Chain A
């Protein structure tokens, strides 16, 4: 039996079975078994490599103070890693501008707002990446929302989004001008594009970030995102590859108020793709026929119902409340899974992220998966018969009671007092 200099221990409840220690161990002495990492003391030499990579600090040496062990990786991290010569050449923060027929997705303006903050922290330029056909107006508008420069590729092949030509265009720009950060909206289009670009660039891509902060000492982007269905938050770094790439959901960041006097420098490049290279043709587009389809993501007032409604008919009441307040309906996952309402209305981790001025949650317990989709609302009102419901922990105002009494009363008073006007009328920005 090999004699280890120190005996490795594990705090079982803290292990998330990520497998990092297993990959790191040079002696094949740790394996993932069920919900915990298991140490093979026959093979462990006590080298401590696993302790350094453990993200939850659940490994330590017996007899050595846990606190000391936990402090060790932090100290290591404070030493700013020297950016390799090649990496330092990458400068500037870039935002991909998602547009269709000249209509820009609001998430792009939101990201320019965030990008401005990051660029100022780094002391570098904020640039927009604009790809499409006839997009000059879009390029000019990026200046209003904070961009210093717009890199533009205008080509008939970019009239409709297809992965290949858009990815090739972005790759050409990034390879030539070398930004250190690229942010893309986590929309269906943005996610399709970001994954393709990051693969070719051999760089890190962090999806659905909710927090982006510059570590000025190390000149690194700290990217925070929910993981495991919103149950934990993880901060991700991309230390040795550039650009650092993130996608961000709509309504997570805030756009700057547009300033039409701001000018943007425009840099034009050409696309080197031919139709034969693409291999995909858009045959048809069927816009959603349902004109009532909710625009939840950008709604000012949302009246959401949960399992506590008791039946699909409960949504008739929620609709009435939404109409009385000039808002739209929302729903929890439980009601969508039960088939009470369409997925279009679902708020949360597997649905939409919303940021209304007012979010009314009726009969919603407030599981973390729901909360991550709505907790940035300006004002949250919870109505629930269970005083212990989690939703009350994040609500600004809560009413404990039967929603079938409270909601009709709210509808009545909203109508009588013209609440809709008062909430939305003059408070607009």
Chain B
């Protein structure tokens, strides 16, 4: 049977994050924690493969203890097993240290039960880096297939997977050797609602929690210490200068538009003169 591991991240719903205009800081109060949407699509894709070919699905995440909620959510979407890597030593990890720890988790899973395919979301919405999937693929030494919009075929006997990739100017179809790492984009599927029995199973499910002691890792490569990048400064986005409001938009749109057109032409002429 196909053994699939899905890597997921719990993230703040960034569409709900707002800046406090008084203090210029993030307002995180009341911002819900969700399963990173791309990872939810990866989980759904795994569930579809399970329905089509039969598969065992394991969800792996790294984060604070409350990230078990994200794993339970994935269990409600069809995952059979859930593991959270949670340890103070993992805190403050950048993408390099994150893929290091996750890969250690994946290796242990592979040793315990075998692993044919790793699915990840393209990127997480709080960091938008798209670096952890490729990081895992390189560390495992497996083919890396990013931006998947479809997995039309998995041939366990031949040991191959066919993936459709969304590129900027079209769709590329690749056939890769298994085991492989595939990262998915939203287009790959529509998220489905969990059934009631699945939700009950998920509510009762207790994810396993692994610390750094449970993994074959070197302390120096974990968390903040293992991260090549450091955040030197955080600041609010620059506030641009407000422009000019052209009067009369409500009462005399013809005149307002005329004024706008004149100003646009003036700008072009001024710009041309400068050159």
Contacts and interface: CB of A to CB of B under 8 A. Distances in A.
B235 A232 contact: yes
Contact of B126 (A227, A279, A419): A227
B268 interface: yes
Interface in A190-226: 191-192, 194-196, 198-200, 202-208, 222, 226
A20 interface: yes
A271 interface: no
Contacts of B135: 195-196, 198-199
Contacts of A274: none
Interface string A23-62: 1100010001001000000000000000001011000000
Given A392-B243, A400-B245, A358 B264 contact: yes
Contacts, number: 301
A23 B168 contact: no
Interface residues of B, number: 98
A196 B176 contact: no
Contacts of B131: 191, 194-195, 198, 205, 207
Interface size class of A (residues with CB under 8 A): 35 or more
A422 interface: yes
Instruction: Name A's interface SS.
Output: mixed
Contacts of A228: 12, 14, 17, 26, 126
A222 B232 contact: yes
A221 to B, nearest CB: 11
A230 B15 CA distance: 10
Interface string B140-179: 0011111100000000000000100011111111111100
A393 B130 CA distance: 31
13 contacts: A14-B23, A16-B234, A163-B146, A192-B144, A200-B138, A206-B229, A280-B143, A280-B175, A283-B162, A286-B171, A350-B125, A396-B243, A397-B245
Ordered nearest first, which 9 A-B pairs have the shortest CB separation? A401-B249, A195-B134, A229-B14, A23-B91, A204-B228, A204-B229, A23-B92, A35-B28, A195-B131
Interface of B: 12, 14-15, 17-20, 23, 25-29, 31, 64, 88-92, 94-96, 99, 125-135, 137-139, 142-147, 162, 166-177, 180, 187, 223-225, 227-240, 242-246, 249-250, 253-254, 256-258, 260-261, 263-265, 267-268, 271-272, 275
